[in-house]
Every structure is written in structure tokens, then in C-alpha cells.
Structure 1
Amino acid sequence: MSDNITTPTRTGRLDEWVAALRVYLEPSTWRMLFLGFSAGLPLLLVLGTLSFRLREAGLDRTTIGYLSWVGLAYGFKWAWAPLVDRLPIPGLTAALGRRRSWLLVSQLAIALGLAGMALCDPRTQLQAVVWFALVVAFASATQDIALDAFRIESADTERQAALAAAYQTGYRLAMIWAGAGVLWIAARAEVAPAVAGAQAAYQDGAWRVAYLAMAASMAVGVATVLLSPEPVRRVLPPARGLTAWLREAVVEPFADFVRRYRWQAALVLALIAVYRISDVVMGIMANPFYVDMGYTKDEVAAVTKVYGVAMTLAGAFIGGVLALRLGVMRVLMLGAVLSAATNLLFAWLASRGHDLQALVMVISADNLASGIASAAFIAYLSGLTNVSYSATQYALFSSVMLLLPKWLAGFSGQAVDAWGYSTFFLATACLGVPVLLLVALAARVRPRGA
């Protein structure tokens, strides 16, 4: 008797799980996978991978550090988001719709910018490389704005988690392709393979092939946009002028935050501004460091770009689980400690020269720590937002998170030239010490009414 009752119940539950998993087979989910790939592709090509190329081309580390300020474009994308949300593109918006037209224009601009970077030799045309990198960075940030809106409007609330998961999967695959893939292509395109453990002679032709391949890879996003339907158009309230927009988009979200946290808002913003400072400042010099230590493109691709991404994902999973079990603030403190401590491992690695086994060990620890810290920090930022201003406040918090570390990272090359790698890595570890105090103080902060 009991078997007759239990079996249908179990079958019913299985059917429910199968029905739930079918969301990953829906066209909208697959579209977000491919669009996520398009979004993740440009980031490393104007930051991490570019610094590897520039150092191999013989540029000094001080210049490479300053050029990292190109990445500040991502920190200001909230400023032109309302234009992307409202402004039609003549001719194109009427044909494709508001979201698809902005996506297509930004993707084509990224592809053209990457092609420009490919065709310019940084040894003789550095200014042109920088301008094309700026085009890629601004177009990529614009694509992010349009893509967030496209994703939100493409499905109901119940499907947003699946769309976000597909987006993140595509994004991470693109980071592997733009990190490891571009180095692998450049290594294959060299006239003579680099000798393991030796400094490779710069071959601009090899990098030209690699960056042109990355530009061609943007066809994934372009094709997806052209084959996708435009989301259902939202009726937006009419614009009420620049002053009204500034009040609603910038002033009011911050005013709400200050009202809820009062004087403690300064403490919270200080923590947001410096939490990732150790990682960001150190990270700009990571690729020049690999070049100077004699690691080949294949070694860097395999260890730091493929294996490293896998370790970051593992760290993010661990961080998410720990946050549920121990609380966000405890894991936030753990992430701050680990982020600073792993920079000490890079100082040790600098004394080893070309040591592949030591590199694997250091990358394992560093990326695992980065994943844990990132998961806790995202959870912390999400908890700070008011649901009435969630998108705007989160975007503004993300900008605050990037601005000071990115600005300070611009001087990282100058620091390495003055002190050497070991002392520089030690200094970046010390940058994490004030973060520990801020986390401890922020753990006591409670919003008004909590």
C-alpha cells in the first residue's frame, strides 16, 4: 500500500526537477550563454593580456602601469547608462529595437578596436594602441549596460537565475579564451618557438594573428544579436532634463544609503573602496612579472589563465558555502586576510626565478583566496542595497570598489622599477592591513530600522 503511494510521489518530484532543468534548454538561456561570451571577451584583452604583450615588446613597467588606467572606463559606466537606456540610434533602433541596436553597435566597436590593437605595433605605435584599447574598454562597458537590460527584459523573474548562470558560464569561457587562448595562438604563430625558461623575442606578427582572432571571436555575439528577438519594450517615463536625471539616478540612491546608515555610511564606503586593493594593485604587474621571470606563453596560459580560473571558481563556491554557514562578515574578514597573505607568496616566488612548480602552488593559493573574497564581497554589497534602488546602488558601489584601487594600480609599474618585485609584493600585502580594521568595524554597523 505504501509503495503505491510513494512511487507516484517520487515520480512527481522527479518530473518537477526535470521541468525545472528544462529552462537551460530554452532559447533565451542559450542566447545568454553566447552573449555572456561576448561580454567576457574584451576585459582581459585591454588589461591582463595587453600588459603581457607590452612587457614582451620591451615597454617599461612604469608605462604599463599607467596604461592600466584604461580599465577605469568600467568604473564610470553608470554615468552613460541612462543614455543607453533611452537614446535611440538613428535608423538602427527602428530596425532592431533599442536593446539589440546598442548591443550590435557596441560589439562592432569592440571588434574594430581589437582589430586596431592587432594592426598596431606597440614599439612604434603605442599611442594608437592606447586609443584603440580605450575604444574597446568604453564599447565593452556599453555592451555590459545594454546586455544587463536585455537579460532582465528577456524573461520573467523565475528564469532570471538560469539566465544569470548561463551568462556567467559564457563570461568565464570567454575569459579563458581571451587569457589562455590568445597566448596559445600567439605562441603557435611565432616564427620560432620560444625556448622553455628563456626570454622570448617579441614578434608582433604573432600578436597580430592572436588579436585578430579575438576580434573575429566577437562574431559570436554579433550573430546572437542578429538572430535574437527584441525583448518586450518597457514603457519608460519621459525624461525630465539633466537635473532630474542626476537627482534620480545618482543623488537619490546615495541619499537613501546615507539616510539608512547615517555617519556609518562613511565607514562602509571606505571598506568598499579598499577591500580589493591588494589584489587589484598587485594584479596589474602579474603579467609583466611572468614575462620577466621567463615563463613562456604556454606556461602562463595553462597555469594562470585556465587552471587559475578553475581555482577562482572553486574559491567562489567555497566562499558562498562558508558565508551561509558562518555569516558574510566572518568570510569577508577571511577573504581580506587571505588576499593580503597570498601576495606574500608572490614575493617568495620572485626569489625563485623560473620555477613552474612554485608558480602552480602560488596561483592555487592566490586564485582560491580571490574566489573566496569575491564571493563574500558580492554578498556584502548585495546586502547593502535598497530594493528600490538595487541596480543603481549596486552599480555605484561597484564603481567605488574599482576607482581607488585602479587609480593606485597605475603607479604599480613605477613602484616595481623603484623597489623590485619582491618589495612591491610585500607592499601590496601591507595595503591589506587597514582593510582588516575596516571589516572589524563594519561588522558592527546596522542600518536604521534593522
Structure 2
Amino acid sequence: MSASIAATPDGAQAQPAPRPPMRTLGLYLLLGFSAGLPFYMFNAVLTLRLARHGVDIVIIGFFAWIALLPTFKFVWAPLLDRYSVPGFSRFWGRRRGWIMLSQLGIFLSMVAMAFTSSDQSLPLTALFAILLAFWTTTLEVAADGWRIELAPTQAQQGPIVAANLWGYRSAMVAAGSGAVLVAAWADWTWAYLAIAIAAFLPFPMLAAMRPEQPGATGRIRALASGTLISLALIAIVGLATALIGWAALSAVQGAGFSAQTNVTPIVLAIALLPFVALAIALPRIRRLPADAPAKMPGFIAPYVEIFWRFGYAVLPVLAFVSFYRMGDVLTLTLSHPLWNAAGYSLEQISVADGIVALACSMAGVAVGGLCAARLPMTVALIIGACASAVGNWVFVWLWYAEPSAFVLYVAAGVDQFGHGLEGAVFVVYLSMLVSPRYPGTQYAFLSGFAFLLPRLIGGAAGAIQKQIGYDGFFILSGALSFAAIFFLPIVMRVRPRAGAVHG
């Protein structure tokens, strides 16, 4: 597929494509499950855990900034395209090698979170949550690059994205419901240990898979050497993260920031910086010759290429993607603290995050995948934005309604359906913007940038909630998600510049 075809987001004239094989769909169901389990544990489940321990809502909001780490996955995504994990990659290939390393990192980080689940030391809680977010994101980068290589067209992407999100969202639901239920029966230590074991189950399944090259030998030796090298890498990353975190925390405290500081204006100013930087850089990038990206170092070539290809149109595209997932991110930040404040028990929250959320999320993903595969992308994106907005506004009704299981389950169901639908459409849209030369890195950049503004605001969610209440917060978050529609008349007219040379 040429870059121009891949970058054309409107699917009205999409060419027929064969359906991906069932083994590919099954693979991405598994990979989605592997990434979804840990994501909920450093996000929604952690915010609920902190709320149950009486941590201030503003501090809980700050923990939402941990989810910013996936936003910057484009920083290390080129390493996954360029380097292999010794041991693992020699037998199973580069993509699976990184996935196996990531699963080891996920398991050990979650075990560490289990044994610090009293949250007596919030910096320590934050350290292990950050490590869990890092390894979860690394797994997603490897899986996303593989997915785009396997299915380069919009018609092929729809079923694979749906399978991946079925696995991802079912795992999130299993993690949320299962962890909360175990915490209700035992404590948070057992909850995190149970999910850590479940998250590690795909590792032996991957280890049992066929080698990348038919006839390759040395499975046991590759597994042993890959595990030892991976443990060393995980330890190095953990130590580096601890040192960086200590320096950052010291700097923040030295500057006088605390839970009482109004961080919202600061957050909004920071959110504008990437757009300002892009506006400054674009004129020079636009003047480059067509073969310039191909001659640049592999670390920066993917980013220069996408800016060269879209030119100034990249600014409204990035603004659009920043708003589109706003409702999803902000709901995940404060929905569980809201349920706790409204008086719902851990058992009720477990059911809402379990059977109800699973059924509605799967239905939403299926509808979203169908919309992305069958409808013009403009129409599919509008449907997704509306569904996301309703998924936020339903929590206003929950806040004012008399607490009951029915109210909680309806609100959770509407939320999961809307955001599942929106997410499926959005993944296909982003996949159509990338160049086939740099699928993993460019997708990592676009999907990461899409969550930058929402997650920056998410970190200030606690401070915003104190100013306007839970009702005002969810009215605002739904409106921001709906506002993405107003970018579509501009975004859908964007066409890539032809002539890029990829070498």
C-alpha cells in the first residue's frame, strides 16, 4: 500500500480486501488481553484503591498523570523497530521478543505494587505504577507495529482492531471486576497478585509458539538467555526510573507545589507547547526535498516524514485526535472515585466493572469495528464522538439519582458501549494516517499524541472536580469529546503530499 492510500482517512472508496485469517484475529485477541489487564491496574483500579485509603482527590488526580507515559511512547518506539531483544528475538522474532520482555516487566511491576498496596508511601506506589505503565506501553508499541504490517488496508484493519479491542477491553473489565472483588474478599495485595498471574499467562503461550524462521532450533536456550537478559534490562529501567522520579519529586517540592496548588492553568499552558513547537518547525520541514526523510537517521525520519507529508494540515489533524478521546480518558480518571463518593460498595463496583461492562464494551467495539469497515470514515467518526459524549454525560444522571444497583449498571453499560465504539473507529482512523515505511513509530506518535491533552487535563481532574463538582466535571468532559466533531469539516479534506521517498 502506498503512503497516499494509507493516509487517506475517508473509506468511502475503500478497495475490497480479504478477511484476515482466524489465527491472526486470535493472536490480536490475545495481545489485546495481555495489554488490557495491567492498564486498568495503574489507572482505574489504582484510583479506586487510593480513594478507599482516603487519599485526597487532588492527589488521586495527580496519579492520573502516570497515564501520560504511553503518550510519549514515540520516544522509545524507534528502538523497538531498530533493535531486538537478545535471546527471545533470535528464536521468536523481533516483535514477539519485545512482547515477551514486556510481559516479564509487567508481571514484576504488578507484584511490586501488590506488596506496597497499603499506599503508606505514595512515592513508592507511584514508582511501581510508572514501571507498570512503561512495560504495558512497550507491549502495545510492538503489537501495534505488527498489526499494521499484517493488515495495511482499512477493510482489513476493522476485524483485527475489533479482535484486539475485544481482548483489551475484556481484560480491562476482568482486571477491574476481578481485582475489586478480590480486594472486597481479601485485600489489595491479593488483588494485584491475582491480576499479575493472569497477565503473565500469555507468556508461556508465546514461548510455545513456532519460531519466526521455520526449522529454527534452540528454543530452551533462547528462552533461558532471553529471560536472564530481560531481568537485567528490567532492573536497569527500574533503577533509572527511581533516580529520575526522585529528582523530579525533589524539584517539584522545591518549587513549592502541593495538593493546594491550582495546577489547571499550568496544565493548559503545557498542553499548548507541542502545537507551538510544531508550528515553528513545520515551515522548515515543508521546504525539505522529497527524499530528505529517507536520508535522515532512523530515530527522527518517521516524524519528519509525517510532517512533510501532511504539512500545515497536521496541526488540525493533531488537534482533532487530541479532542476525540477526551471523554474516554477523563471518565476513566474519576468514574471510580465518583462511585466511591456516591456510596457504592466494592461488590457493586465489581459487578459494574465485570459482567455489565464486558457485555456492553464488546458490543460497542463490534459496532465500532463494523462502522469503520463499512461506513465512510467521516460518518463513523461522528457516531463515535456522539457515543463517547453520552458515555460521559450518563454519570451526571448517576450522581443525582438515588443510589441503586440499576443506576450504577446502566451508567457503566452506557459508558463502556460508547467508549468501546469510539475506540474501535479511532484506531482504524489513526492506522490510515501512517506511512507503510514507518508503521510502528508513526502509529506510536499519533496514538500517543492523541492522549497528551486528555491525560494532562486528567491529572488536574481532582482540582477541577473540587471547583465544579462531579456533575460539572462530567458535563465538561462529555462536551470536550463532542467538540471533536467540529474539526471534521477540515480534517476530512486533508490529503497527504505525494512524492515522499522512503529509500
Scaled by the length of structure 2, the TM-score of the pair is: 0.70
- Secondary structure of the corresponding residue to residue 336 of structure 1: helix
* 1:112 corresponding residue in structure 2: 108
Return the offset for 1:184: 1.7
Match of 2:134 in 1: 138
Q: CA deviation at 1:424?
A: 1.6
Shift in alpha-carbon separation, 1:337–1:230, aligned structure 2, 3 A: same
Q: Residue 394 of structure 1 is aligned with which of 443, 446, 463?
A: 443
Structure 1 position 35, deviation (Å): 4.3
| Contact 2:309–2:497 under 8 Å retained in 1 | no
Q: State the alpha-carbon separation in 1 of the partners of residues 338 and 440 from structure 2.
A: 37
Closer/same/farther in 2, CA of residues 357 and 386 from structure 1, 3 Å limit: same
One-letter code aligned to 2:362: L
Shift of the 118–75 alpha-carbon distance from structure 1 to 2, 3 Å rule, reads same
Q: Give the AA of the match of 2:205.
A: T
The structure whose RCO (Cα within 8 Å, separation 6+) is larger is: 2
> Post-superposition shift, 1:285?
0.3
1:256 to 309, 327, 339: 309
TM-score, normalising length from structure 1?
Answer: 0.78
Match of 2:393 among 344, 361, 378: 344
CA distance in 2 between partners of 1:23 and 1:384 (Å)? 24
Distance 1:299 1:249, change over 3 A: same
RMSD: 3.5
Alpha-carbon distance in 1 for matches of 2:310, 2:320: 15
Q: Which residue of 2 aligns with 1:195?
A: none
Q: Which residue of 2 aligns with 1:66?
A: 62
Q: Which consecutive residues of structure 2, in runs of 5 or more, have no partner in the other structure?
A: 1-17, 215-292, 499-503
8 Å CA contact 1:277, 1:405 repeated in 2? yes
What is the alpha-carbon distance in structure 2 between the residues aligned to residue 342 and residue 54 of structure 1?
A: 24
Cα pair distance change 1:141/1:362, threshold 3 Å: same
Alignment of 1:327-338 (within 5 A): 327-338=376-387
* Matching residue of 2:202: 221
Residues 114 and 334 from structure 1, CA distance in 2 versus in 1: closer, same or farther, beyond 3 angstroms? same
Counterpart-to-counterpart distance in 1, 2:162 and 2:393: 34
The equivalent of 1:237 in structure 2 is: none
Distance 1:373 1:152 in 2: 19
Between 35-44 and 114-123, the greater mean CA deviation after superposition: 35-44
- What displacement does 1:164 show? 6.5
Shift of the alpha carbon at 1:112?
Answer: 1.1
**Residues 371, 110 of structure 1: CA spacing in aligned structure 2 closer, same or farther, 3 A cutoff?**
closer
User: Residues 317-373 of structure 1, C-alpha deviation per residue, up to 9 Å, x if partnerless?
Assistant: 333444566532133223323433443321222112522222222233333322332
- Is the alpha carbon distance of 1:387 and 1:362 closer, same or farther for their aligned partners in structure 2, counting shifts above 3 Å? same
Cα distance, 1:51–1:169 mapped onto 2, change above 3 Å: same
**For each residue in 1:40-76, what CA deviation from the matched residue of structure 2 results, as whole angstroms up to 9, or x when unmatched?**
2111111111111111111111111111111122122
Provide the residue aligned with 1:285 in structure 2.
334
Say if 2:179 and 2:195, in contact at 8 Å, map to a contact too.
yes
Contact 1:42 1:110 in 2 (8 A): yes
How many residues get paired?
A: 402
Contact 2:72 2:449 survives alignment (8 Å): no
Q: CA 1:290–1:329 in structure 2 vs 1: closer, same or farther (change >3 Å)?
A: same
Once the two structures are superposed, the pairs formed by residues 69-84 of structure 1 within 5 Å of their partners are: 69-84=65-80
1:9 is matched with: none
Query: If you compute each CA radius of gyration, which structure gives the higher value, 1 or 2?
Result: 1
Correspondence for 1:178: 175
Where do residues 185-334 of structure 1 align in structure 2 (5 Å cutoff)?
185-189=182-186, 206-232=187-213, 244-258=297-311, 263-322=312-371, 327-334=376-383
**Aligned equivalents of 2:31, 2:368: Cα separation in 1:** 27
Identity rate, percent? 33
More divergent stretch after superposition (312-321 vs 180-189): 312-321
**8 Å CA contact retained: 1:99, 1:230:** no
Greater Cα shift, 296-305 or 131-140: 296-305
> Distance between the aligned counterparts of 1:160 and 1:108, measured in 2?
28
User: Residues of 2 paired with 1:364 and 1:162: CA distance?
Assistant: 23
SS at match of 1:313: helix
Q: Is the 8 A contact 1:31 1:228 kept in 2?
A: no
Q: Secondary structure at the match of 2:299?
A: helix
Q: Taking structure 1 as reference, are residues 162 and 348 closer, same or farther at Cα in structure 2, changes over 3 Å only?
A: closer
Quickly say closer, same or farther: Cα 1:363–1:39, change in 2 above 3 A. Answer: closer
In structure 2, the CA distance between the partners of 1:374 and 1:94, relative to structure 1 (3 Å rule), is closer
- Most deviating of 288-297 and 325-334: 325-334
* Contact 2:42–2:132 (CA under 8 A) maintained in structure 1: yes
